[in-house]
Amino acid sequence: MQKMFRGVLKHRKIVIAIFILLTIICAACIPHVKVNADMSDYLPPSAKSSQDLSAMKETYGNDITNARVYVTGISQVDAEKFTSELKDEGDVVSVTWLGDEVDLDEPLEVQDQDTVSDWYDGQGYLFQMVLSDTVDQQEIDHIRELGYDLPGAQNVAMDGSAVSNASSMSTLDTDMAHIMAIAVITVFVIVMLSTTSYLHPVVMLLTIGIAIILNMGTNIFRGTISSITQLVASVLQLAVSMDYSIVLLTNFGKYREKYDDQFDAMVAAMTKSFPVILSSAAVTFFGFLSLSAMQFLIGQDMGIALAKGIVCSFFTITLLMPCILYNMRKAVEKTTHKPFIKSFKGMARFCHKGAIPALIIVLVIAVPALLGSQGVSFTYGEASNLAPTSQVKLDNDTINEAFGESQTWAIMVPEGQWSEEDTLVNELKALPTTKSVLSYTTVAGDGLPDELADADEVSQLINGGYSRIILTSNIPDEGTVAFNLVETVRNLCEEHYGDGYHLVGNAVSYYDIRSVTSGDNTTVKLASIISIGVVLLIMFKSISIPITLLLAIEVSIWINEAVPYFMGTFVNFVAFLVIDAVQLGASVDYAIIYTEDYLTRRKRMGKRRASIEAIEHAAQPIITSSSILIVACLGIYVVASSPLIQDVGLLIARGAFISVILIFFVLPQLFVIFDGFIRHSSLKLGFFNEKSAASQHSEE
């Protein structure tokens, strides 16, 4: 190892040049990585709604209503003009309005008022659109401008999944810039306070910044990543990777005092740090990778990106950072300062005194926390991921107030079975949530030959051997009412067609997301515990130490996950799914730092003294690293416009804080209590024998 690192440091210009070249290439790739904000696209191919959506797109294309526009203050003539203008827009596939439902040559007063009220509320007209998958915020804004350009137009409101996705994508870069700015400032301030040079945080940020670019650029090989991965992967990589750079800096500082030559000191620091960083990175790597065990493919998306980020950070910190640090050694010396925090003795004594009360509290709340974590209520839909002050959310409230909540689903059934279709249509019409049902038989009648009906209308309803039924219901995107309706409609379709039907709609996708992810939480938990447990087992050559560490951290995860339940708040399902692996992967690093220090001291002193001194000496790296993660993730919570991303930030920040509290107060006490168990279930620990030492002292 020394020969290898000596060669790396000797040829540091080549190493730096290679990393610069890779960074330039990856930076050029980043703009070409596609980002997807639609969570329903991450349903596994085996999910019913995923199969149905593929069949629907293959047969009919993308023509399920995904946007609504409500324009107030305009005349009927201008509303018809607006419809024509919308149809001329490139991203508009189709438009439906009042004129498609009633005969406008007759006064509205003599028309069916239930139908009229679905499209006109006396103040303005509602237009339902099918927008292409490529629609962006610029096109949404243009459509809004077309509405405002109409004579007398007072307000133009737009909502729907296409509008929500476009809005999410438009704020992605801004949110990411704000999040990274807060993370960088946090790292700079905290590292500066905890190290001895003003340049140390600069070197660390430069190194990890390169690692982040390498990770983001290599996402091009995956084609597309989710918007949540794009937003949180970089800041998590930055926060978690700080542990590795702190280890290297700490060891370099120690060896500088032992060696006259800084070259030898750096080689020694690299050699000493490598196994520690490797172990820590391996634990975090497998913790993040365990997300890939989820059925819901967002886990694979995030797991691969986060694990890949750890690999990039590992190589940049173990190879690149020493080269940069050594090249800047003179500048680092000129910018040295005295440590701002000199001792943690007082904190160690405080933690020792509070250990027993803390352990009792944890024992009392552990089971309720576990039960509470299993009873949390989740949100799945796009509407719940809209910030209360966002334009889309305000528009959604406006349209719902005027016309009620609305969902449009499409049902594909075999063509030609008109009797079965008529029966199904009548059953759908009889449902209390139904606003309208459109099918070939309702438009043309089952006795009208296809060739005599309007060609465009027929192609929308009959195609590829299927007849399509359009069901519009007065329901929200998700929730008990929506999910019950999914079950009801599926049961009705199965009664008539068995498995020969396809059902597509937002709530249908969310229903399947809920079903698919119901077991993912347990899967991720088991995968992360087993993978990290195996790494710890190999690392410490002990059965009891992994159990002790994982027990302390798992309890902290239960407490964190139970908070929303006891507060009565909803949590986005994605945020809740990832917290197990992320909190465990990050927190186990802190536990490892304490454990290694404790085991080293336990070889030459008693268990209580070793536990206290280990807190004192491990406090600085643990507090430094955890503070960065906590503050950076709180920054995510504060600046992110997406409630989903806010949930992720809050859960990680709160989880890291709870984990650190348990590591300082509870973990040391567990080591004291399980001292005998640890001694007899571990290899070659060489614990100091307190009884033997006491016996020798009494004989003397």
Residue range 9-24, pLDDT digits in tens: 999 999 999 999 999 9
Tally of CA atoms within 13 A in the half-sphere of 156 that contains its CB: 18
* SS3 at position 685: coil
Position with higher pLDDT, 165 vs 140: 140
pLDDT at 697: 46
Confidence check: pLDDT of 445 > 80 = no
Which of 115, 118, 105 is CA-nearest to residue 76? 105
**560: its two tokens:** 């964190």
Cross-strand pairs, 212: none
Q: For the chain, what's the residue count?
A: 700
DSSP at 225 = E
Q: CB of 265 within 8 A of CB of 210?
A: no
pLDDT in tens, 385-443: 777 888 888 998 999 898 888 888 889 999 888 888 899 999 999 999 998 888 887 76
Is the torsion defined by CA of 142, 145, 147, 149 positive or negative? negative
Alpha-carbon distance 126 to 399, whole Å?
8
pLDDT at 451: 47
Q: CB of 93 within 8 A of CB of 132?
A: yes
Q: CB of 355 within 8 A of CB of 666?
A: yes
pLDDT at 660: 94
Alpha-carbon distance 230 to 176, whole Å?
8
**556: its two tokens:** 């902290």
pLDDT at 70: 94
Alpha-carbon distance 629 to 260, whole Å?
36
pLDDT at 459: 65
Alpha-carbon distance 308 to 290, whole Å?
13
pLDDT at 444: 60
Q: Helices (H) and strands (E) in the chain — how many of each?
A: 29, 13
Tally of CA atoms within 13 A in the half-sphere of 433 that contains its CB: 20
CB neighbourhood size of 410 (10 A)? 22
Place of tokens 């090249």: 327
Which range among 29-38, 155-164, 233-242 shows the weakest confidence by mean pLDDT?
233-242
Which of 95, 94, 120, 93 is CA-nearest to residue 108? 120
pLDDT in tens, 467-483: 889 898 888 888 889 99
Which of 117, 118, 100, 171 is CA-nearest to residue 140? 171
Residue 8: φ, ψ to 5°: -60, -50
Q: What is the DSSP code string of 272-334? A: HHHHHHHHHHHHHHHHHHGGGG-SSTHHHHHHHHHHHHHHHHHHIIIIIHHHHHHHTHHHHHH
- Looking at every residue in the chain, the average pLDDT score rounds to 87
pTM of the model: 0.83
Alpha-carbon distance 592 to 587, whole Å?
9
Alpha-carbon distance 653 to 578, whole Å?
13
Alpha-carbon distance 187 to 306, whole Å?
19
pLDDT at 696: 47
Alpha-carbon distance 478 to 405, whole Å?
11
pLDDT average, residue stretch 528-542 = 90
pLDDT exceeding 90 applies to what percent of the chain?
38
